[in-house]
């Protein structure tokens, strides 16, 4: 399973999970840079994003941050401590204004006690996310930064847009996007230039690009073997 396929399956399963918990969720807004939780916290919440984006990251001893996940509309996350009883292993912070449906840990635990079958859906979602992480690790451990960049760009295209060209915008700074897909910022820049030279994408502003040929971008996203 490649990264693009994993993302589509994750989105579908997240939608199912969201429907399953629909009656237990309530709407909450987070302002730009606001923390949803911090590393080491045990309270937390299950989060289903309606709009906006959230980055999940860890801080190294040097003070440098490493982005682990970028979550956007349709994503469901934040339930790991509910399943293993341990603290959150990373920070979750709003990149911009976020509107989400949330569920507290205490509420979720009560649902799991009264309706244990819903735990299976969370475990399925967690398992699929782990598989997607393994796919990412495989891509990172083999040559092909260009394919990883192309996959990341495809992931930024809204599901509702089917025609080319389509404008996309980096949800985070370029160096954070590079870290999230396991490459150096300079490598990201070279890969973007390569795609632009082939008229697959065109830079239209700071962190903003126009995808000119989605078919060619998908071909570029195929893992190098």
Q: What is the pLDDT of residues 170-216, one digit of tens each?
A: 888 888 788 777 787 888 898 999 999 999 999 999 889 999 999 89
Q: Which candidate, 88, 75, 81, places its Cα nearest to that of 106? A: 81
Q: What pLDDT is attached to residue 224?
A: 52
**Three-class SS state of 159:** coil
Q: What pLDDT is attached to residue 2?
A: 43
Average pLDDT, the chain: 80
- CA–CA separation, 219 vs 214, rounded Å? 9
Q: What is the pLDDT of residues 66-103, one digit of tens each?
A: 777 888 888 888 877 766 677 888 899 998 899 999 98
Of 31-35, 129-133, 145-149, where does mean pLDDT reach its minimum?
Answer: 129-133
pLDDT band at 132 (very low <50, low <70, confident <90, very high): low
Q: Which candidate, 29, 158, 44, places its Cα nearest to that of 97? A: 29
- Reported as type and span, the H/E element at residue 48 is strand 45-51
- Beta-carbon contacts of residue 167 (< 8 Å; ≥ 6 apart): 204, 208, 209, 210, 211
Q: State how far the alpha carbon of 216 is from the alpha carbons of 199, 201, 209, in Å.
A: 9, 10, 15
Q: What pLDDT is attached to residue 8?
A: 58
Taking the model in full, what pTM does it have? 0.61
- Beta-carbon contacts of residue 104 (< 8 Å; ≥ 6 apart): 43, 45
- CA–CA separation, 39 vs 91, rounded Å? 5
Q: What pLDDT is attached to residue 3?
A: 43
Q: State how far the alpha carbon of 119 is from the alpha carbons of 8, 104, 122, in Å.
A: 22, 15, 5
Q: What is the pLDDT of residues 13-22, one digit of tens each?
A: 677 777 777 8
- Looking at the DSSP bridge assignments, the partners of residue 4 are none
What domains can be seen in the chain, in order of their start residue?
A: 3-138 (2.60.120.10), 143-221 (1.10.10.10)
- CA–CA separation, 134 vs 143, rounded Å? 16
Q: What pLDDT is attached to residue 142?
A: 44
Per-residue tokens: 125: 């979602």
Beta carbons within 10 angstroms of residue 139's beta carbon: 22
Q: Which residue has the tokens 């979750």?
A: 92
Q: Which candidate, 7, 1, 50, places its Cα nearest to that of 152? A: 7
Q: What pLDDT is attached to residue 4?
A: 44
Q: What pLDDT is attached to residue 28?
A: 95
Give mean pLDDT, residues 106-132: 74
Q: What is the pLDDT of residues 38-70, one digit of tens each?
A: 998 877 788 989 998 898 888 877 777 777 788
The answer to whether residue 34 scores a pLDDT higher than 90 is: yes
């Amino acid at each position: 399973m490649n990264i693009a396929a994993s993302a589509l399956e994750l989105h579908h399963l997240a939608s199912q999970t969201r429907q399953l918990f629909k009656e237990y969720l309530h709407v909450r807004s987070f302002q730009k840079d606001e923390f949803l939780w911090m590393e080491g916290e045990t309270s937390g919440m299950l989060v289903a994003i309606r709009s906006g984006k959230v980055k999940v990251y860890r801080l190294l001893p040097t003070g440098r941050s490493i982005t682990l996940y970028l979550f956007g509309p349709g994503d469901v996350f934040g339930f790991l401590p509910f399943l293993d009883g341990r603290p959150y292993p990373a920070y979750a912070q709003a990149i911009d204004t976020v509107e989400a449906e949330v569920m507290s840990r205490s509420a979720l635990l009560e649902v799991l006690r009264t309706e244990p079958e819903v735990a299976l859906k969370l475990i399925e979602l967690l398992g699929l996310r782990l598989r997607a992480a393994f796919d990412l690790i495989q891509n990172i451990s083999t040559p092909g930064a260009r394919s990883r960049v192309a996959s990341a760009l495809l992931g930024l295209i809204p599901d509702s847009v089917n025609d080319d060209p389509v404008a996309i915008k980096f949800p985070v700074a370029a160096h954070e996007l590079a870290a999230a897909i396991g490459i150096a910022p300079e490598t990201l820049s070279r890969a973007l230039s390569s795609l632009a030279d082939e008229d697959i994408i065109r830079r239209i502003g700071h962190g903003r690009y126009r995808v000119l040929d989605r078919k060619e971008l998908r071909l570029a996203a195929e893992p190098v073997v």
